[in-house]
Chain A
Amino acid sequence: EVQLVESGGGLVQPGESLRLSCAAAGFTLSNFWMIWVRQAAGRGLEWVAYLGPAGKDISYVDSVAGRFTISRDNARSSLFLQMNSLRTEDTAVYYCVRGSPYCRGGACRLAFDFWGQGTLVTVSS
């Protein structure tokens, strides 16, 4: 059974840092794209970052680029999100998500097929 368990959320002040972790089980992490998605209270979903299986393909939403870093430790089946210079607008539940590729017309893209339960990050003074 695929499981994704996030940890590391909490209350921090603006400008501080936090590191989120995601423990993966039930599949081989090194074979999959991994993603972070966040959701502010009462709001919709926002993709934050993705990381390819080999660790080379990385992308961030503009609002976190330069402040957040996604990384992985395949040997420990873990995904991380280092969040620096946190802002109040980063307050949200952060989900660790597995991405599975599908191909149409010679091109391949991702579907987010398994989600963790989320960890709450609150940035407030």
Chain B
Amino acid sequence: QKEVEQNSGPLSVPEGAIASLNCTYSDRGSQSFFWYRQYSGKSPELIMFIYSNGDKEDGRFTAQLNKASQYVSLLIRDSQPSDSATYLCAVRGTGANSKLTFGKGITLSVRP
């Protein structure tokens, strides 16, 4: 059973702070890693993806991947109230027919 685990939430940070969202996965052969943001009542929106070890930055978002530790994280710098949402980590394994496995998500609340 391939598993994706996320920190139990909710996570609350003040506006302007760095929010750190963490995710671990069990399938050592996993190749692709994704972060989705889901606002209440809306569908998931892809905000970051990372395939190689290290950091990947896109605006205020940084995804970090450590395959040896089977760990992927999302950092949100200068957090804004509009970042308040549930963040889902998703992992894809190997093979042509590999599927996405989603974590349970963590709810982030940014306090003005």
Interaction A to B? no
Residues of B within 8 A of A (CB): none
